[in-house]
Chains A and B, each alone.
Chain A
Amino acid sequence: MAVANPHAADEQPAAATGAAAGATVHALPQRDMQGLVARARRHDPAAQRQLFELHKTRVCAQVQRMTGDPATVDDLVQEVFIAAFANLDKFRGDSQLHTWLYRIVVNKARNWWDSEQRRRRRELRASQVPAQSPNTPHDQLEACEHREQLYAALGELSPKLREAFVARVVEGMSLLEASEALEVPVSTVSYRTRRAEELLCQALGVAGFPTPGRRS
């Protein structure tokens, strides 16, 4: 399944991820979105429900790509929206709502990664993958192994490197989008992504960059 850049346009449907999640997401004009946010800020449950329905698919996909663990998605999605609605008065509107939500997702995912207990569970799960899927076709099994290895390696990176890598490479954000979403300078995003790639190549035992300084 090809994954489109979910941050390409303002409050657009998360079409690529929406297909996977089986949810319909409607685009709203900017003014309507602002009105909706204003109502949600005033604790209007109907507006909060609507915001949740509009963004849940995107948030769900982001959580899963950040953690690589489908089992944790529901918990984190719920945490993200509770935190979002509880702090909606802090949303100044200087960025898109989905960018603001992405920052909450990043923070929640960071807490999740920080949990040593979950990390141990992840390592255990990674070691059990082949045994769990005896009837899986070869290429599917290989993809599953790759995914598990990648997330196990991501777990060893510092949060900043991991977040830059996920935003840029896994989520497919542009430098500017990642800079906006992570609230760090463009050059920092670029550096962190490259450093993360280097470390991941080492951890996964794959060839790194053939020539230096290619990323713009």
Chain B
Amino acid sequence: MNETPPELQRFVEAAREQVIAPTHVTADAVLAGLERHRDRTQARRTITLSAAIALAASLITVSLLWPMLSARDASPPRDPAGHAGHAGHATGHAAGQAGGITNVDAPEHQAASLDLDSAVSLRTNTQVEVRGPWSLALGEGVHELEVQATPGQALRVSLPGLELELAEGNATIEVVQSSAAVKLHNGVAAWIGEDGQRTVLNVEHVDLQAPSATELAREAERLLAAGKPDKAVAVLRRLVAAYPKASQTRTGLLDLARLLRNSTRKDEARCAYELYLQRWPGSAVDGEVRAALARLGPGRACRGLDPR
């Protein structure tokens, strides 16, 4: 298995042959160090708690004093004759109501900051980036768009890896990781190619931009690095289903099995290992995979990646 270049191997052997000196660390020393560590941790907690209490006390004090302070600040300045003056303008402002945008998760916060044309209506369950009255970028989630026909205008929608133009009508767009599915219920829409060429969508047209095996593998790796193993599992399952024989699937299936096992989904982990053995019999890691299966113990039979 080790195919290190022979010349480099000499250096590696030198490292491996280094005599491992016995450690002088004793259990007593470790336990004493542990005790000191606990004391330090406890001291830090005490300091943090004290600071938090002090902060809370300050906040309470400020909140109690605030009405008095603000009342004093709000008192109108007196003119030389002793009369109270008046503020010259109102503090309120009229926020322009542009673009009908509803975020089903945070409707109030979203609507205030967005600035789409009033002919565009967007219902979404996630964050969107409005780039202008007729331009927006959609992130992961489900988005329902409605555009009223406006002469000379069309809504430009940026999706992962592609651009869509919606001149009028209703469309539902689902973005999952690096792919987007667009369903045009009615109206006129087109994909915009990199060269600016337009490909008109049919009504009820579904165009799934399937990511490649490499993209899925990278996405899974990114999610893992971001500490999102559950999402990585979903992407890896998709990789295994979409590209059963790809080289990325070969390693991805092993990662999937490990992640499932670590999240105590043992039956699913077993299925992943078994599927690996079915698809790549006699591989270099055959023995290790069988050992991992043996450690998982017996369980339910599998159909593909899922236990029956």
A residues near B, CB below 8 A? 1, 3, 10, 17, 20-23, 45, 48-49, 52-53, 56-57, 60-61, 64-65, 68, 70, 73-74, 77-78, 81-82, 85-86, 92, 94-95, 142-144, 146-147, 149-151, 168-170, 172, 174-177, 179-180, 183-188, 190, 197, 200-201, 204, 206-210, 214-216
Q: Given that A146-B10, A146-B11 are contacting pairs, would A1 and B224 also be in contact in the complex, using a CB cutoff of 8 Å?
A: no
**In contact, A176 and B292 (Cβ under 8 angstroms):** yes
**A125 CB to nearest B CB, Å:** 14
What separation, in Å, do the CA atoms of A214 and B284 have in the docked complex?
13
**B250 CB to nearest A CB, Å:** 9
**In contact, B22 and A60 (Cβ under 8 angstroms):** yes
**In contact, A174 and B23 (Cβ under 8 angstroms):** no
**In contact, A207 and B11 (Cβ under 8 angstroms):** no
- Nearest to A216 among chain B residues (CB) is B284
**In contact, A86 and B24 (Cβ under 8 angstroms):** no
**A102 CB to nearest B CB, Å:** 15
Find A197's partner among B5, B30, B252 (CB 8 Å cutoff).
B5
What separation, in Å, do the CA atoms of A110 and B225 have in the docked complex?
17
**In contact, B4 and A197 (Cβ under 8 angstroms):** yes
**In contact, B33 and A78 (Cβ under 8 angstroms):** yes
Q: Which residues of chain B are near A197, meaning CB under 8 Å?
A: 4-5, 8
**A208 CB to nearest B CB, Å:** 5
**In contact, B12 and A170 (Cβ under 8 angstroms):** yes
Binds A, one of B73-81, B195-203, B254-262: B254-262
Scoring B2, B14, B37, B288 by chain A CB atoms within 10 A of each residue's CB, the highest score goes to B14
**In contact, A52 and B27 (Cβ under 8 angstroms):** yes
A-B contact list, 22 entries, CB within 8 Å: A20-B20, A23-B22, A48-B27, A60-B22, A77-B25, A81-B34, A82-B34, A86-B34, A146-B14, A147-B14, A150-B14, A169-B4, A169-B12, A170-B15, A179-B255, A185-B255, A187-B251, A197-B8, A200-B8, A204-B7, A206-B8, A215-B3
**B258 CB to nearest A CB, Å:** 6
Q: Which residues of chain B are near A81, meaning CB under 8 Å?
A: 25, 30, 33-34
**In contact, B3 and A214 (Cβ under 8 angstroms):** yes
What separation, in Å, do the CA atoms of A169 and B10 have in the docked complex?
12
- Nearest to A142 among chain B residues (CB) is B14
- Is B248 among interface residues, defined by CB-CB distance under 8 A? yes
Q: Looking at chain B's contact residues, is the secondary structure mostly helix, strand, loop, or mixed?
A: helix
Q: Given that A174-B288, A209-B5 are contacting pairs, would A179 and B15 also be in contact in the complex, using a CB cutoff of 8 Å?
A: no
Q: Which residues of chain B are near A65, meaning CB under 8 Å?
A: 15-16, 18
- Nearest to B18 among chain A residues (CB) is A147
What separation, in Å, do the CA atoms of A94 and B268 have in the docked complex?
15
Q: Which residues of chain B are near A207, meaning CB under 8 Å?
A: 5-7
- Is B17 among interface residues, defined by CB-CB distance under 8 A? yes
What separation, in Å, do the CA atoms of A1 and B27 have in the docked complex?
28
**In contact, A187 and B252 (Cβ under 8 angstroms):** yes
Find B23's partner among A1, A21, A168, A175 (CB 8 Å cutoff).
A21
**In contact, B20 and A186 (Cβ under 8 angstroms):** no
Q: Which residues of chain A are near B225, meaning CB under 8 Å?
A: 184
What separation, in Å, do the CA atoms of A68 and B7 have in the docked complex?
19
- Nearest to B9 among chain A residues (CB) is A169
**In contact, A78 and B25 (Cβ under 8 angstroms):** yes
Q: Which residues of chain A are near B8, meaning CB under 8 Å?
A: 197, 200-201, 204, 206, 208
**A92 CB to nearest B CB, Å:** 8
Q: Which residues of chain B are near A149, meaning CB under 8 Å?
A: 11
Q: Given that A64-B20, A179-B254, A216-B284 are contacting pairs, would A56 and B25 also be in contact in the complex, using a CB cutoff of 8 Å?
A: yes
- Is B279 among interface residues, defined by CB-CB distance under 8 A? no
**A19 CB to nearest B CB, Å:** 9
**In contact, A206 and B15 (Cβ under 8 angstroms):** no
What separation, in Å, do the CA atoms of A95 and B295 have in the docked complex?
11
Scoring B38, B254, B283 by chain A CB atoms within 10 A of each residue's CB, the highest score goes to B254
- Nearest to A207 among chain B residues (CB) is B7
What separation, in Å, do the CA atoms of A6 and B183 have in the docked complex?
55
Q: Which residues of chain A are near B31, meaning CB under 8 Å?
A: 45, 48-49, 85
What separation, in Å, do the CA atoms of A73 and B24 have in the docked complex?
9
Q: Given that A86-B37, A179-B258, A201-B7 are contacting pairs, would A3 and B19 also be in contact in the complex, using a CB cutoff of 8 Å?
A: no
**B20 CB to nearest A CB, Å:** 4
Digitize B29-44: 1 where CB-to-A-CB distance is under 8 Å, 0 elsewhere.
1110110011001000
What separation, in Å, do the CA atoms of A68 and B11 have in the docked complex?
12
